[in-house]
Amino acid sequence: MFSPEVLALIAATFLIAGTVKGLVGLGLPTITLALLAAVIGLKEAIALTLVPAFIMNIWQAWVGGELVQILRRFWTWLITICVGIWFGTSVLAAADPSVLTALLGILLVIYSAYSLATPQIKPPGTREPWLTPIFGGVAGVMAGMTGALMVPGVLYIQALGMKRDMLVQTLGVTFFVSTIALLGSFSRFGLLTRELVVISALALVPTALGMVLGQRLRKRLSEERFRPVFFAALLGLGLIIVGRSIF
């Protein structure tokens, strides 16, 4: 059973994560994993994120008017992500948690450093049809092992040069499908206990409150000013996770 102190930390973490997502439109699993993995364990942190991530990404996945086009363009991406998640979760179930926690920290460092530098990556062009399932499979394996889809998943999608509305909806569809795959694979490998499901469902409350708060803050604090602070903090958290896992 989780102690009252740990439950309070979980509630505060989801409140913060929901606020960030309401403010910039991303960061829910990233924040929860970064803050909780070192405290309650990577497997438990991923499990707690599943229900809030599933519910919060439904709207992002369905709103935008590009769903049919996204499915036609990215069906191989979505399928290979699901397959990769299955294999990645099997590794998570058997591997040393400290090793995969360190990997999570490394992925956070890479993602935040990239987002701070914002280099211009050339779109794959005519190579997209065969690169997409490859990156999808790798992204799925990483997500299954660490719960994080940022590297190379989000980075690849961002490199495709889509318009903002389609990019946001594509990420929503990706997160929605990957969360379903994680739910299925976690259940299959015995990583999703009844206690974790209940706490994950209850985490919807602080997450929703955070979303409302973040949306209100968006009117006062521009995303352009907030993003560097967010990714700099994420970079620091990633370095801390790596340090704790190694030393």
- The predicted model gives 141-147 an average pLDDT of 95
- The predicted model gives 219-231 an average pLDDT of 75
Which of 59, 37, 57 lies closest to 46, judged by CA? 37
On the question of pLDDT at 131 being above 90, the answer is: yes
15 backbone dihedrals φ, ψ, rounded to 5°: -65, -45
The rounded distance, in Å, linking the Cα atoms of 77 and 41 is 29
Q: What residues have CB less than 8 Å from 72, skipping those under 6 apart?
A: none
Q: What is residue 195's predicted lDDT score, i.e. its pLDDT?
A: 94
The rounded distance, in Å, linking the Cα atoms of 163 and 160 is 9
Which of 45, 25, 18, 57 lies closest to 147, judged by CA? 45
pTM: 0.89
Over residues 59-78, the pLDDT tens digits come to 778 877 889 999 999 999 99
Helix (H, G, I), strand (E, B) or coil at 124: coil
Q: What is residue 232's predicted lDDT score, i.e. its pLDDT?
A: 86
The lowest-confidence range among 2-11, 106-115, 157-166 is: 157-166
The rounded distance, in Å, linking the Cα atoms of 37 and 33 is 5
The band of 119, judged by pLDDT with boundaries at 50, 70 and 90, is: low
**pLDDT above 90 covers what percent of the chain?**
53
Residue pair 200/50 in contact (Cβ under 8 Å)? The answer is yes
Which of 244, 9, 232, 10 lies closest to 105, judged by CA? 244
Q: What is residue 185's predicted lDDT score, i.e. its pLDDT?
A: 96
Residue corresponding to tokens 């995303």: 223
The band of 118, judged by pLDDT with boundaries at 50, 70 and 90, is: confident
